[in-house]
Amino acid sequence: MNASSIVTIALTDPGEGLTEAEILELKVAVGDRLEINDPVVEVETAKSAVELPSHVAGTVVEILVAVGEEVPVGAPLLRVDTSGGPAPAAASPEPDPSAEELAEQAGPAAEQATPSAEQVTPAAETGAEPKNLVGYGERSSSAAGPRRRRRRAAPAQESTAGQVPIDRILAKPPVRKLARDLGIALHDVLATGPEGTVTRQDVLNAQQRAYGAETDGDYFPEESPQAPEHLGTVMKTTRDQPFSGVTSDERTTRVPIRSVRKRTAEAMVASAFTAPHVTVFNEIDMTGVMRIVSQLRAAREWADVKVSPLAVIAKALLVAIRRNPEVNASWDEDAQEIVYKHYVNLGIAAATPRGLIVPNLKDAHLMTLRELAEGIGELARTARAGRTSLRDTRDGTITITNYGVFDIDSGTPILNPGESAILGVGAIKEKPWVVEGRIEPRRVATLSLSFDHRLIDGALGAELLRDVSAVLEDPSLGLVWG
């Protein structure tokens, strides 16, 4: 091995204007043999978890980051020897440097963000012949066995109640994902599995200690369950149950603002203070919608489709937009123009364990009710898995947010940046309702429509909500207006 054969792999922008990302998982260890396009690290971006591939073939000689770090684009991740020599023995992971050590090592931000000429060696200078980054290359037969992951050293802890001390973080991928979803740092979990392995129950126990209540619910509830029990509880810990970020007086816990939560906050602040919001409300009879949903669920032709009221609401909104096309617009401040759009990319707000994301159905105005139901289901599954693509979140025009699944009646939703309106749907509940002079029990919900008052006047916003309401109260209008 010589210095000219060492190539540094740096954090690149996967295509969403990324400036920094959190390291979720290291896919390689020192001594591993890499082929072109082999994944080397998984990072969390503003939209999803993304695996970054290697652009060279060679042997990993040094890991430069650790799980949990947030690093800027351009920062070096690992170094690879491209000379093709034998793999060196894997080095034992060293404890992460202290804050003081990092401060001494750190240079100006610009230097940290961009690798130096010594860190990144172009292929032309190395004498190696790395292949082009195309497709997924076959694994070399010289790769030795399964991938070894570099484990992040954690402070040794004394055993309590017979638990195994944690001096290495051992956990299966589903357990790691659960910890990420719940916001639990693995090095703060007391492991009870074989050889100090962190189990699913260990992660749930850590969450219970952190939040003071058990939570193992569905982040994508189907029908309107009560809000999760842990919401509104006081975070707590005890001296024999450590948790990351707990202050010395044990009265508060501090968690870094990162990834999806950080980007969501930035987007919501920008939207709230850029577009003047107006919200109008309407309480409507949803009995007809619920009857249609029940009939479709019982139909053999729809047996393979997950039908929910949300699909019918989406169809009603699309019909109303067709009757009021001026609402489907955006404000171009730079060009000083209003851009009227002849298509609808319908956003579906999703409250995921990683934070709020808004993927959208492209050209939803062309979709049938069945296609809407299938599309919404696919967006939910993808978001639940943390694999929403950048394309799915771009170019939305109007969004639906369904806070009824949390048993909430109404709200004032904030616009997704760049969009003209957002329709909020409250919980569908049985209430007394006047029908042709008689009081009857009906299924009732409150709709709320927030819109950008630069684009949509009050009268136009009211007409849009009125038309959505009319189709939902009398679905046959969808045939006439659609």
So what's the pLDDT on residue 14? 64
Between these two residues, 45 and 413, which has the higher pLDDT value?
A: 413
So what's the pLDDT on residue 141? 36
- 477, 341 in Cβ contact below 8 A? no
Between these two residues, 254 and 66, which has the higher pLDDT value?
A: 66
| CATH T-level topology, domain 3-126 | OB fold (Dihydrolipoamide Acetyltransferase, E2P) (2.40.50)
Find, among 92, 52, 54, the residue nearest to 73 by Cα. 52
SS3 state of residue 223 = coil
Is residue 277 annotated as part of the catalytic site, yes or no? no
CA–CA dist 455, 420 (Å, integer): 7
- pLDDT interval class at 235 (50, 70, 90): very low
Instruction: Please write the tens of the pLDDT for every residue from 13-30.
Output: 766 566 778 888 889 999
pLDDT > 70 in the chain, percent: 70
So what's the pLDDT on residue 198? 84
Per-residue pLDDT averaged across 256-274, rounded? 76
Instruction: Please write the tens of the pLDDT for every residue from 169-187.
Output: 787 777 777 777 676 777 7
So what's the pLDDT on residue 343? 96
Instruction: Please write the tens of the pLDDT for every residue from 351-391.
Output: 877 778 899 999 999 999 999 999 999 998 888 887 888 78
- 119, 76 in Cβ contact below 8 A? yes
Residue 166 predicted with pLDDT over 70: no
Count Cβ atoms within 10 A of the Cβ of residue 183 and give its class: 0-12 exposed, 13-18 middle, 19 or more buried. middle
Compute and round to an integer the Cα radius of gyration of the chain: 26
Instruction: Please write the tens of the pLDDT for every residue from 138-148.
Output: 333 333 333 33
- pLDDT interval class at 240 (50, 70, 90): very low
CA–CA dist 83, 332 (Å, integer): 52
Find, among 48, 99, 98, 107, the residue nearest to 75 by Cα. 107
- 364, 375 in Cβ contact below 8 A? yes
So what's the pLDDT on residue 17? 61
Amino acid sitting at position 403: Y
So what's the pLDDT on residue 116? 41
CA–CA dist 108, 113 (Å, integer): 9
SS3 state of residue 182 = helix
Per-residue pLDDT averaged across 39-62, rounded? 84
Q: Where are the domains of the chain?
A: 3-126, 170-256, 261-481
So what's the pLDDT on residue 47? 59
Cβ neighbours for 249, distance < 8 A, ≥ 6 positions apart? none
Which range is least confidently modeled, 120-134, 204-218, 320-334?
120-134
Count Cβ atoms within 10 A of the Cβ of residue 377 and give its class: 0-12 exposed, 13-18 middle, 19 or more buried. middle
CATH code reported for the domain at 261-481: 3.30.559.10
What are the residues facing 20 on neighbouring strands? 72
- 354, 22 in Cβ contact below 8 A? no
Architecture of domain 170-256: Irregular (4.10)
Per-residue pLDDT averaged across 92-120, rounded? 40
So what's the pLDDT on residue 271? 85
Catalytic residue among 55, 187, 365, 453: 453
Strands 398-402 and 421-425: parallel
Which range is least confidently modeled, 34-43, 47-56, 310-319?
47-56
Residue 213 predicted with pLDDT over 90: no
Per-residue pLDDT averaged across 150-165, rounded? 37
So what's the pLDDT on residue 210? 57
So what's the pLDDT on residue 443? 97
